[in-house]
Structures are given as structure tokens and as C-alpha cells.
């Protein structure tokens, strides 16, 4: 498995803005409901979907990333998924333009890459 290079190792790398990431994810894809496949085997959903283990199971979802984790936000954690085969990663990110998401990109990308590599095992 290829190791992601750190921010310092990627000469000239600029972390994209949230709006740029949103455009990339939604390019030619229009939301059709509370959960949408934005890339093969990668879905974005709302809080209700994150808690709906039946829907997650039906979609074949095995890993959940919660970018709004925390007790005062979307309160999911590994215990929510203890009775199903879903691995969880939470990021307690504040929903404001000044919050620095950069420290979470590479670890979360590695979590997603690991999930995708396990697909079909």
C-alpha cells in the first residue's frame, strides 16, 4: 500500500478550500436524498443516515467518517456501531471557516483508503 506523503513532503502542495472540495465531490453529481454516492463506494450522508444502521447495511457501508463528531454535534461513536460490522472515525471539526481541517486530511484519507482496499475481501 502506498504511503501518503506528509504535507511537508509534497513540495508546493496547497490544501484545497472546502468550496473546492465540495465542487470536486459534486461535479456532475446532484444530491438526490439524505445519502449520495459521490465516488464509487464513497457516500456522503446526513446525521439521520449515519445513525440508520439498516440503511448503512443495505448500502454495504463498512466504514463511517463523521466530520462533525462530538456530543454537541452529530453524536456517533464506535459504540453506535458495536453491533454491526462498521468501523468508525470521528473528527471533531467546528463548522466555521476558520477551523483548520488540514491535520485530519491524511489520517482520514488513510482510513478511507484502507476501507476501499478491504472492499471485496
- Supply the CATH number for residue 91's domain: 3.90.190.10
Q: Do the strands 35-39 and 42-45 form a parallel or antiparallel pair, or are they unpaired?
A: antiparallel
Structural domain includes residue 18: no
Total domains in the chain come to: 1
Tell me if 83 is assigned to some domain.
yes
Question: In terms of residue numbers, what domain contains 44?
Answer: 36-118
Q: What is the pTM of this model?
A: 0.68
20 is a domain residue: no
Can you list the positions of beta strands (E) in 1-121? Answer: 35-39, 42-45, 63-66, 87-90
Within-domain flag for 105: yes
Q: What is the mean pLDDT of residues 75-99?
A: 88
Beta strand 87-90 with 63-66 is parallel
**Cell reading at 73:** 454535534
What is the percent of the chain where pLDDT is above 90?
A: 26
95 domain-assigned: yes
pLDDT by residue (tens digit) across 60-78? Answer: 899 999 988 877 777 788 8
In a domain, 63, yes or no: yes
Q: Check whether 110 has a pLDDT greater than 90.
A: yes
**What's 56's DSSP letter?**
H
Report the alpha-carbon distance of residue 115 to residue 42 in Å, rounded.
10
Residue 49, domain member (yes or no): yes
By the 8 A CB rule, do 11 and 3 touch? no
In contact, 55 and 49? CB cutoff 8 Å = yes
12: in domain: no
Model pLDDT, residue 53:
92
Amino acid at each position: 500500500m502506498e504511503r501518503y506523503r506528509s504535507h511537508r513532503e509534497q513540495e508546493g502542495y496547497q490544501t484545497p478550500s472546502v468550496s473546492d472540495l465540495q465542487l470536486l465531490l459534486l461535479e456532475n453529481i446532484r444530491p438526490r436524498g439524505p445519502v449520495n454516492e459521490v465516488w464509487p463506494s464513497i457516500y456522503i450522508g446526513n446525521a439521520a443516515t449515519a445513525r440508520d444502521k439498516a440503511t448503512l447495511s443495505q448500502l454495504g457501508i463498512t466504514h463511517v467518517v463523521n466530520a462533525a463528531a462530538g456530543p454537541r454535534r452529530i453524536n456517533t461513536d464506535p459504540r453506535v456501531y458495536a453491533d454491526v460490522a462498521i468501523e468508525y472515525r470521528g473528527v471533531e471539526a467546528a463548522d466555521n471557516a476558520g477551523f483548520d481541517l488540514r491535520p485530519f486530511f491524511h489520517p482520514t484519507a488513510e482510513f478511507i483508503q484502507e476501507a476501499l482496499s478491504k472492499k471485496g475481501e
